[in-house]
Amino acid sequence: MQKPAPRFAFVSSDTDDARQAAARLVAIYGQHRIADAEIVVALGGDGFLLQTLRETMGSDKRVYGMNRGTVGFLMNEFIERDLPQRVEAAVAETIRPLEMHTVTASGETATALAINEVSLFRQTYQAAKISITVDGKPRLAELICDGIMVATPAGSTAYNLSAHGPILPLDAPLLALTPVSPFRPRRWRGALISNRSEVRFDVLELEKRPVNAVADHHEVVSVVTVTVRQSSENTVTLLFDPTHSWNERILAEQFRY
């Protein structure tokens, strides 16, 4: 007896290519509400996929991305045929996001989740001055820089890589702590820390050197302290074609030049 096709929910970015692709797939495979679907198929680029992952986080939905964007590092190739078979054969990767907890200069608190990275950036022309504490132990009393980030393995090939941070395999129990344009200490290039660690950033000389914090696309202005740790409760599941798995993409990216 033939196995029934999974229930798909097709979602797309606002580009013409993505919308047209979604319409063709809906005509072939049908459409379900996300709440009723087994598989959410995201059509667009990496940014739209991250948005879809955030919106489905904690729902136990599996997300299968197909590239209708530009870079599409996180996406599978767009092919209309045999989608149920591709999904059935796909490799599932479970990703735990980062939790960002902030306190601002006005005393307000905020919490946000990040699949790629949590970043701190200077707000003005003045370089940021930040101290770093890991698991309650001071590690760097003063970092003068344009910014600093904590990146997940999933985010290690994004902004972290552009800032010369290390690429991490998805199953590595690590986070990348990567500075952006460090001025002092000039030779500090970051650190690899356990994904069980908690990192605290304290902004120094706040009035002179204001800093903003960003969890993926959620920004908090004029932060005083930022605490980052891996979420113990929230997960997302991303599906990759076995012929182009995440680990293969990670390895291939390291040999690009």
What is the phi/psi pair of residue 40, to 5°? -100, 120
Q: Where are the beta strands (DSSP E) in the chain?
A: 8-12, 39-44, 62-67, 91-95, 98-104, 109-114, 117-122, 128-134, 137-145, 147-151, 174-180, 191-194, 198-203, 211-215, 218-220, 223-230, 236-240
Catalytic member of 46, 202, 216, 241: 46
Residue type at position 145? C
**Catalytic residue check, 46:** yes
Q: Which residues contact 174 (CB under 8 A, 6 or more apart)?
A: 153, 168, 192, 193, 194, 195
Q: What is the rounded CA–CA span in Å between residue 143 and residue 184?
A: 6
User: What is the phi-psi region of residue 136: left when phi exceeds 0, alpha when psi lies from -120 to 50, beta otherwise?
Assistant: left
Active site residues: 46
